[in-house]
Structure 1
Amino acid sequence: MSTATTPESEGSADATASRPARLIQNEATTEIPVHLLFRDDPDPQPVPVRPTVVARRQGTGEQPRVRRPVQAAPRPAVPRADPELTERRARVLPGAAGVLAGVCGVAGCAATTWWAGLLPTLAARAAHLPLTPGAGLEPAQWGAYAGAGALALFGFGGLARGRTGGAWALGLFGRYRGTVRRTGLLWVNPLLLRRRVDVRLRHWRSEPMPAADGNGVALRVVALVVWRVRDTARAALGVDDHETYLRECVEAALARVPVDLPGTGRAAGEATGDTLTRLVAADVAPVGLEVFSVRPVRVEYAPEVAAVMQRRQLAVLDARHRATVLSSVVDSVEDTVTRLTVRGLVALDDYERKALVKDLTVAFCAGRGES
């Protein structure tokens, strides 16, 4: 038996060796060896992407087509902020330097006056200075006067007082030069243009602005915004009026967000306020403003729909009142009839029971109406 099985096994081995690898092939795909689909390679090598040739369909006469790999569209570059409109610290000196320069300039002017002999006799004697014969103002004295006067002007003209909650945006010939947030006595270049910026936390209450609820009913909303200036360069140079720009951003946010009426619940109002805060904060961030909260403090119907909505609310309240009264009357009638029947005070058939229920209902409704 072993002799018979040996040739068969050898024949099957030869057939396996001579048989080509099985392939997956159809009309729309290329040939892929089966053993490549189940290869367990922990670190496969990258395969270069080449144009794929799709075979033509049999019997159609269609020519082979080349399918090129689809390349992803390049992403647009994110615009960067203009470095000229980004807040940076300005170079300033302590106020003592300006005072010292101003005093030196004044002293230089006095010395030049004495040098030119223009100092009065009484002033010279009071200062214990020797009298000099005055020859008038010569070019040297004029130059000394100019230098001392310029030093005094620059020294005293550059003095400034920094306050808490305020800042200066400095500019020179239309170009931003930095921001001063320090407090106390400072010396700032007098040639620089100073623009005061309030960086304190502020509250802004808007006027009634148009809005709409979830059903599209016109509303009037008064919003309270808590905000401050975060970047003085963008806030001072980006917009003219902060409150005007803030009002426009709030109006744009109200046009996109449905506002809930006051009676709809506290959670709905908080959700509306959070959504408005997120939208307004994103709109004002490019101009250097920071918004902490936007809350609708008063919501009312627009004048053109106020009368209609008021009648509608009155009708709803009247319907609720009627339903409440009817339920109370039905419960009272049922309790009365049940007690009379259970205690055996009356024996009623169906006709008599209906008549009693009718009379009791009319009586209770009349009594409710009079009360």
Structure 2
Amino acid sequence: MNERNAFSLAGIPVVLILIAGWLLTGWWLVTTLATPSEAGPAQIIPIGLVFALLGFLSKGFFQVQPNQGQVAQLFGRYAGTVRDAGLRWTNPFYAKRPISLRVRNFESGKLKVNDSDGNPIEIAAIVVWQVVDTAEAVFCVDDYENFVQIQSESALRQMAQSYPYDAHDDGKPSLRSHGDVINSHLANEIQQRLGKAGVKVTEARISHLAYAQEIAQAMLQRQQAGAIIAARTRIVEGAVSMVEMALGELGKRGVVDLDNERRAAMVSNLLVVLCGERGTQPVVNTGTLYTG
């Protein structure tokens, strides 16, 4: 079932026509009552029927707010949707239901799921959506707002199980490091589920991401260890480069000629100085190179 336009007319011209009808019918009634010989049932009943018809036609007026659609039904059958804002008039037999076409958003609850590595995590998302097909939203699902929320959380759970929390060396995206990829995947997952409800997903973003409490401390220690290892690796790489540069400059300028044993000792001392966490205490050698 797809949305289509329902029959409706601009309300102001119809209001003027009905006002004219009320005035003419009232004048008819006054002139009839002014002549007692003609004021019989045969003359009064048609006037009453005209008043009743005008009153019935007045029930066809309704208002359409900006970014709103009025879904019309005729004896339970879908008759169409009116999106033209303002005062409108349509078939008085139509039953009308307003549907908001504005952009809406909601934040899901914090879901506890397992990532692709099996680690329990907490995750939540913000979903921005709007109704684009009023017929599908009203007639294809029971409650489209509740449908959007439940299906969005289902898609979020499915997406979270497809990625690890942290990035690995294999280059695959992770929940924590590849935000654009994750958000795009989440939006596509939600849209696939909500297409049948006449809803378009404008944006979906992760709003909360953390390890579950039972493993949070252990994962924090692992992250700290990884950070320490990465920092130490960078320090050692820099220290080796500096030692290599120092030995190369000493040899190129002929400042001192070191044998392998003294070269190894100098490398060891430089690495201790460059890689140590605390300041080192220098030892002044007052002898020769081969005596301390």
Question: Considering the TM-score relative to the shorter chain, is it more than 0.5?
Answer: yes
Correspondences of 1:176-325 after superposition (within 5 Å): 176-200=78-102, 202-210=103-111, 212-217=114-119, 218-225=121-128, 227-257=129-159, 258-259=162-163, 264=173, 268-291=178-201, 293-304=202-213, 305-325=215-235
Residue correspondences, number: 268
Within the candidate set 20, 24, 32, 1:115 is matched to: 32
Q: Percent identity over the alignment?
A: 27
| Deviation of the 1:207 alpha carbon | 2.7
Letter in 2 for 1:330: V
Map 1:330-369 onto structure 2 (within 5 A): 330-366=240-276, 369=278
Quote how far apart the aligned CAs of 1:180 are. 2.0
| 1:326 matched to 2:242 | no
Distance 1:208 1:174 in 2: 37
Distance 1:106 1:272, change over 3 A: same
CA gap of 1:183–1:357, structure 2 versus 1, over 3 A, is closer
SS of match in other structure, 2:204: strand
Query: For 1:1-38, what per-residue CA distance to the aligned partner results, in whole angstroms no more than 9, with x for missing partners?
Result: xxxxxxxxxxxxxxxxxxxxxxxxxxxxxxxxxxxxxx
Supply the AA of the counterpart residue of 2:265.
Answer: A
Instruction: Give 2:14's aligned residue.
Output: 97
Cα offset, 1:321, TM superposition: 0.8
Which secondary structure state, in structure 2, belongs to the residue aligned with residue 336 of structure 1? helix
Amino acid at match of 1:195: R
Per-residue Cα deviation, 1:278-332 (whole angstroms, up to 9, x for no partner): 33333222222233x4432435214424443333222211111111112222333
Q: 1:289 and 1:339, CA in 2 relative to 1: closer, same or farther beyond 3 A?
A: closer
Which residue in 2 is equivalent to 1:19? none
Q: What are the equivalent positions in structure 2 for 1:119-134 lying under 5 Å apart?
A: none
CA distance in 2, matches of 1:143, 1:302: 79
Post-superposition CA distance 1:90-112 (Å, at most 9, x none):
23344323541343134313532
Q: Deviations over 1:50-106 (max 9, x none)?
A: xxxxxxxxxxxxxxxxxxxxxxxxxxxxxxxxxxx4433323344323541343134
Q: State the Cα deviation string for residues 156-189 of structure 1 (Å, max 9, x = none).
A: 3322344553221112443323222334543123
Paired with 2:206 and 2:228, the residues of 1 have a C-alpha distance of 28
Amino acid at match of 2:220: Q
Counterpart CA distance in 2 for 1:196 and 1:262 is 46
User: 1:7 corresponds to which residue?
Assistant: none
Structure 2: which amino acid aligns with 1:207? S
Structure ranking higher on relative contact order (CA contacts 8 Å, 6+ apart) = 2
Displacement of 1:352 in angstroms is: 3.2
* 2:45 equivalent among 129, 143, 149: 143
Query: Which residue is 2:287 aligned to?
Result: none
Matching residue's letter, 1:143:
I
Larger radius of gyration: 1
- Give unmatched runs, 5+ long, in structure 1: 1-84, 118-131
Q: Give the superposition deviation at 1:251.
A: 1.9
Compared CA separation, residues 279 and 340, structure 1 to 2 (3 A): closer
**Distance in structure 1 (CA, Å) of the matches to 2:107 and 2:189:** 17
| TM-score normalized by the length of structure 2 | 0.73
Q: Match of 2:170?
A: none
Judged with a 3 Å threshold, the aligned counterparts in structure 2 of structure 1 residues 109 and 169 are, in CA distance, closer, same or farther, namely same
When residues 251 and 348 of structure 1 are mapped into structure 2, their CA distance, relative to the original with a 3 A threshold, is: same
Q: Describe the shift of the 1:343–1:179 C-alpha distance in structure 2 as closer, same or farther (beyond 3 A).
A: closer
1:196 CA displacement: 0.9
Q: TM-score, normalised by structure 1?
A: 0.59
- The 1:363–1:285 alpha-carbon spacing in structure 2 relative to 1, beyond 3 Å, is closer
What SS does structure 1 have at the residue aligned with 2:130?
strand
